[in-house]
Amino acid sequence: MKLDSQDLADLAVGAAFLGTGGGGDPYIGRVMVQRCLDEGLAVELVDPDALADDAFVIPTAMMGAPTVLVEKVPSGEEAIHSLKRLERRLGRRATHTMPIEIGGINSTIPLLVGAQTGLPLVDADGMGRAFPQLEMETFNVYGVKAAPIAMADEKGNVALVETETAAKGEFLARGICIRMGGQASLVNYPMDGATAKRVSVPATMTLAQDIGRVVREARAAKAEPLAALVAFLGTTHYGHAEKIGAGKVVDIARKVENGWSVGIVTIAPFDGAEPWRIRIQNENLVVERGTEVVAVVPDLICVLDGDTAEAIPTERLRYGQRVDILGIRVPPIMRSPEALEVFGPKAFGLAAQYSPLGLNPAA
């Protein structure tokens, strides 16, 4: 399947939802990919089921702080540099690329790589959403080595990291990323086609695209985009979404800590009932109401503009905004015991127990 400009626009909208508050603004990536399409370059999306077992997939991504991204715009060459460097290290050329993260800008980086190199793109990823750390990958959960990791900045500086665990890879790569100016390309988790089918969250590129399309079509039909979205998500392998509530942003406590944006946003319902509190580490981690845990990672928590149903990234939350809160349950591959070990509540230092949204409703 070749991607056209409308697909790309839809995908960027959907990626903002799947960014669940974080992941970096997909708009910048969209503009870069659109330029490639305008130049006649094409990106082909491949169904993971159609992937040959001996294909060689090298995922491509950016690492860094979303706040840096909007000021230090990528050159568009970083990911190619990293990819070439990793290929040289491995002594093998990639047959495909793929996102490691579907939420936010990282949905578009592999499109850029695909357009520039001609590599087809596997319609899958390793997070099924956005997460703030490199080890929070189904690739890692199901046994793919994170390293070697190749990184590059917009000036052509390159670094290669070799280490045993994904968590150590995250720590070392983050240090390099900071020295590269707070943002760098990151290419790692190379794997064969058989492995890619086993360890990734399938069909998430088309999912992002479909989310954008559903919202767009609902708007065009003067229908309620959020209701259309909830209905649509119920038909996907994510299986369930629900509107948690609607209200006004009445408080935001937010600071930058260890390179992440952390904080708490308080949203008061219009009926004067108890407010929701959402804890943030780049992404929205948990919605609580009093002592009740309404939804928690890895399930997706999205804060939407009440009028336009656009996903609001955490850095754009402001006092007084009218918002809807949307919860999306993750597919089974993302809520196995081994997956929860890596990106469940405990991995974020949260006391809450994970209870899949819509399956075991909190009391």
* Secondary structure of residue 113 in the 3-state scheme: helix
Cis peptide before 313 (omega within 30 of 0): no
Tokens describing residue 239: 């299986």
Q: In angstroms, give the least distance from the CB of 40 to a copy of itself.
A: 32
Q: In angstroms, give the least distance from the CB of 180 to a copy of itself.
A: 7
* Secondary structure of residue 228 in the 3-state scheme: helix
Candidate ranges 90-98, 152-160, 270-278, 331-339; the one touching a copy of itself (CB under 8 A): 152-160
Tokens describing residue 330: 């993750």
Number of CB atoms found within 10 A of residue 41's CB: 15
Tokens describing residue 355: 């209870």
Q: Does 168 bind a copy of itself (CB under 8 A)?
A: yes
Q: Does 80 bind a copy of itself (CB under 8 A)?
A: no
Which CB sits closer to a copy of itself, 180 or 352? Answer: 180
Q: Does 159 bind a copy of itself (CB under 8 A)?
A: yes
Q: Does 178 bind a copy of itself (CB under 8 A)?
A: yes
Q: Does 63 bind a copy of itself (CB under 8 A)?
A: no
Question: What is the amino acid identity at position 317?
Answer: L
Which CB sits closer to a copy of itself, 153 or 210? Answer: 153
Q: In angstroms, give the least distance from the CB of 106 to a copy of itself.
A: 22
Q: Does 158 bind a copy of itself (CB under 8 A)?
A: yes
Candidate ranges 102-110, 168-176, 185-193, 306-314; the one touching a copy of itself (CB under 8 A): 168-176
Which CB sits closer to a copy of itself, 85 or 329? Answer: 85
E strands present in 15-86: 45-46, 56-57, 60-64
Q: In angstroms, give the least distance from the CB of 161 to a copy of itself.
A: 5
Q: What string marks each residue from 81 to 120 as x (binds a copy of itself by CB under 8 A) or -?
A: ----x-----------------------------------
Out of 127, 160, 296, 302, which residue is the one contacting a copy of itself (CB under 8 A)? 160
Which CB sits closer to a copy of itself, 133 or 355? Answer: 133
Dihedral of alpha carbons 112, 117, 118, 122, sign: negative
Give the contacts of 55 (CB within 8 A, at least 6 positions apart).
95, 96, 192, 193, 196
Q: Does 176 bind a copy of itself (CB under 8 A)?
A: yes
Total residues contacting a copy of itself by CB under 8 A comes to: 19
Q: What is the DSSP string of 271-336?
A: TS-PPEEEEEESEEEEEEETTEEEEETTSEEEEEETTT-PBPPGGG--TT-EEEEEEEPPPGGGSS
* Secondary structure of residue 257 in the 3-state scheme: strand
Out of 67, 75, 171, 333, which residue is the one contacting a copy of itself (CB under 8 A)? 171
Q: Does 172 bind a copy of itself (CB under 8 A)?
A: yes
Long-range Cβ contact pairs of 37-43 (< 8 A, separation 24 or more): 37/3, 37/4, 37/5, 37/8, 37/115, 41/115, 41/116, 42/2, 42/3, 42/115, 43/2, 43/3, 43/111, 43/114, 43/115, 43/121
Candidate ranges 121-129, 172-180, 248-256, 328-336; the one touching a copy of itself (CB under 8 A): 172-180
Chain residues in the site for a copy of itself (CB under 8 A) = 85, 156-164, 168, 171-172, 174-176, 178-180
